[in-house]
Amino acid sequence: MLNLLWSVGAFLVAIGVLVSVHEYGHFWAARRVGVRVLRFSVGFGKPLWRRVDRHGTEFVIAALPLGGYVKMLDETEAPVPPEQLDQAFNRKPVWARMAVVAAGPIANLLLAWLLYWAMFMVGTYGQRPVVGQVAPDTPAASAGFQSGDELRAVDGRSVRTWEDAVLTLLPAAIDGRLVAVQVQTADAPGVVRERRLDLSGIDYRAEDPDVMRRLGLAWRGPRVAAQVGEVIADGAAARAGVQVGDVLLTVNDKPLADWGDWVEIVRASPEQPLRLRLRREGTELELTLTPQAVDDAGTRIGRVGLAPQPVSAQFDDYYLRLRYGPLESAGEALGKLRDMTVLTGEVIGRMLSGSASSRNISGPLSIAEFAGQSARLGAAQFLSFLGLVSLSLGLLNLLPVPVLDGGHLLYYSAELVRGRPLPERVRAAGQQIGLVALLALTVLAFYNDITRLLFRS
């Protein structure tokens, strides 16, 4: 219950901030071009708080905090007094209307940059870009990658963290092209070698978003012993009798070198009985447990409800701190905004064209869960989450779909070319198509959310 309340609270904070900034963008631009704003509402439904400023604009916080809107003076919505016609939105030149509409998404993009800037100022941690294991018969194995390789540059761009490498490889994986990766090998420190990754075999319509796993690369994290540190109540392991302190020895007679071996077998065995041999206080026991099937970003995996003993390895051997001053943080934030914009745009384009899985679309339930998880991890992680959602909101609103800001921009662009507005019947038909498309996207997002929840139950 506490986790649920935490997730809901973090979600409401996120939605409140992102919607307020988006609508403020419309409001700010409308004021600058002389449009009269009647209402600025955060949320829908019954007003909980309201105030009217000297311009006659009513500011409202409403009961249902899942959106918001800016209502402007407009003859297409209600009669306008003759003395206020020059302040009506529909009477403004096309460029002014386009500026008002575009200001919302632009505000979200600017907010994303500010959030990333704050994240780098606060400081965050990144995984050192060192390869742990290379899966056989994968693109990474064919390219000659070895355990201990430290990634230095990917596709001509230097990388400092494992996440940097992922973000650079994702667009290349989407395009299915050949990528050069510079690595420093473990057997020859100081010597940089080049590996050439052929990504043409990556099918981005697959539902597994973990590009590194599909390439066959695993991060070199702290070596975790196969000893149980926590048993989740009502999990498959608890029901089978596994206890804290048990040392896991074999699964189906296959020896376990570390906790990673155990996780790999469990993930690959949803609803398949596993014969587990373990050692408890010097005595070896054998148990049978069946991993529960859960959904992990669209992939069906197994889970048993165990966590390992805390790792005592040196933290700095596997992670590095990313923290900069104000000016350097601004540049780092701009670079991250650029990378995430390119990646998000490519993924959206691929999903629309059918070449990427629609299972990657998340709805409000998943977003609330991610909000709660990131908030629990700390300020930097929550800022990063807010930045990504703000960026996604801005880009989605720029799609040329009627009812979205991008659809209105499409109409106004046509008006610029024609010299007059599109016929009312054309705009009405576009609105209906846009509503259907938006409804379908909403249903798909909720379906994905509910499917993930059902797999976990």
Structural domain ending residue among the three candidates 286, 311, 336:
311
* Residues 114 and 149 occupy one common structural domain: no
Instruction: Indicate the range of 1-10, 79-88, 222-231, 421-430 predicted with least confidence.
Output: 1-10
Task: Please provide residue 214's backbone torsions phi and psi, each rounded to the nearest 5 degrees.
Answer: -75, -25
Query: Exposure of 142 by Cβ count < 10 A (0-12 exposed, 13-18 middle, 19+ buried)?
Result: middle
Q: Is 222 helix (H, G, I), strand (E, B) or coil?
A: coil
Does residue 349 belong to any structural domain of this protein? yes
Does residue 18 belong to any structural domain of this protein? no
Distance from C-alpha of 346 to C-alpha of 356, rounded to nearest angstrom: 10
- Cα–Cα distances (Å) from 347 to 37, 315, 377, in that order, read 36, 34, 26
Distance from C-alpha of 131 to C-alpha of 114, rounded to nearest angstrom: 32
pLDDT band at 357, cuts 50/70/90? Answer: low
Does residue 119 belong to any structural domain of this protein? yes
Instruction: Indicate the range of 315-329, 351-365, 389-403, 426-440 predicted with least confidence.
Output: 351-365
Does residue 85 belong to any structural domain of this protein? no
Distance from C-alpha of 154 to C-alpha of 177, rounded to nearest angstrom: 13
Q: Is 159 helix (H, G, I), strand (E, B) or coil?
A: coil
- pLDDT at position 14 over 70: yes
Catalytic residue among 23, 163, 332, 369: 23
- pLDDT at position 58 over 80: yes
pLDDT band at 404, cuts 50/70/90? Answer: confident
Does residue 304 belong to any structural domain of this protein? yes
pLDDT band at 145, cuts 50/70/90? Answer: very high
User: Which pair of tokens denotes residue 108?
Assistant: 């979200």
Using a pLDDT cut of 70, give the percent of the chain over it: 84
Name the residue range of residue 450's domain: 95-123+324-457
User: Which pair of tokens denotes residue 7?
Assistant: 């997730």
| Residue in 187, 182, 183, 181 with CA at minimum distance from that of residue 139 | 181
- Cα–Cα distances (Å) from 116 to 163, 166, 382, 395, in that order, read 15, 18, 10, 17
* Residues 148 and 205 occupy one common structural domain: yes
User: Which pair of tokens denotes residue 30?
Assistant: 């409308």
pLDDT band at 331, cuts 50/70/90? Answer: very high
| Residue in 395, 328, 365 with CA at minimum distance from that of residue 102 | 395
* Residues 343 and 387 occupy one common structural domain: yes
Domain count, the chain: 3
For the chain, the average pLDDT equals 83
Distance from C-alpha of 431 to C-alpha of 175, rounded to nearest angstrom: 33
Structural domain ending residue among the three candidates 311, 336, 356:
311
Distance from C-alpha of 158 to C-alpha of 164, rounded to nearest angstrom: 8
- pLDDT at position 233 over 60: yes
* Residues 340 and 421 occupy one common structural domain: yes
pLDDT in tens, 421-446: 888 788 778 777 767 766 666 555 54
* Residues 317 and 194 occupy one common structural domain: yes
- What is the reported pLDDT for 454? 47
Using a pLDDT cut of 90, give the percent of the chain over it: 38
Does residue 184 belong to any structural domain of this protein? yes
- What is the reported pLDDT for 287? 92
The question of whether 23 is a catalytic residue gets the answer yes
- What is the reported pLDDT for 203? 63
Task: Tell me which range, 27-31, 193-197, 322-326, 364-368, is most confidently predicted by mean pLDDT.
Answer: 27-31
Nearby residues of 27 by Cβ (< 8 Å), 6 or more positions away:
37, 40, 70
| 186-203 residues labelled b (16+ CB within 10 A) or e (exposed) | eeeeeeeeebebebeebe
CATH number of the domain to which 177 belongs = 2.30.42.10
pLDDT in tens, 41-55: 988 888 899 999 998
- What is the reported pLDDT for 457? 43
* Residues 339 and 442 occupy one common structural domain: yes
- What is the reported pLDDT for 448? 52
pLDDT in tens, 257-314: 888 889 989 999 999 999 999 999 989 999 999 999 987 756 788 999 998 887 655 6
Does residue 11 belong to any structural domain of this protein? no
Nearby residues of 268 by Cβ (< 8 Å), 6 or more positions away:
301, 302
- pLDDT at position 186 over 90: no
- What is the reported pLDDT for 456? 46
* Residues 261 and 409 occupy one common structural domain: no
- pLDDT at position 29 over 90: yes
- What is the reported pLDDT for 451? 53
Does residue 106 belong to any structural domain of this protein? yes
pLDDT in tens, 111-137: 999 999 999 999 888 888 999 888 888
Of residues 330 and 357, the one with the higher pLDDT is 330
- What is the reported pLDDT for 16? 82
pLDDT in tens, 359-374: 555 545 555 555 566 6
8 A C-beta contact, residue 127 and residue 219: yes
Structural domain ending residue among the three candidates 311, 338, 361:
311
* Residues 384 and 401 occupy one common structural domain: yes
pLDDT in tens, 201-225: 776 554 455 778 888 888 887 777 8
* Residues 292 and 418 occupy one common structural domain: no
8 A C-beta contact, residue 172 and residue 204: no
Distance from C-alpha of 304 to C-alpha of 382, rounded to nearest angstrom: 28
- Cα–Cα distances (Å) from 420 to 74, 172, 310, 413, 428, in that order, read 18, 43, 68, 10, 16
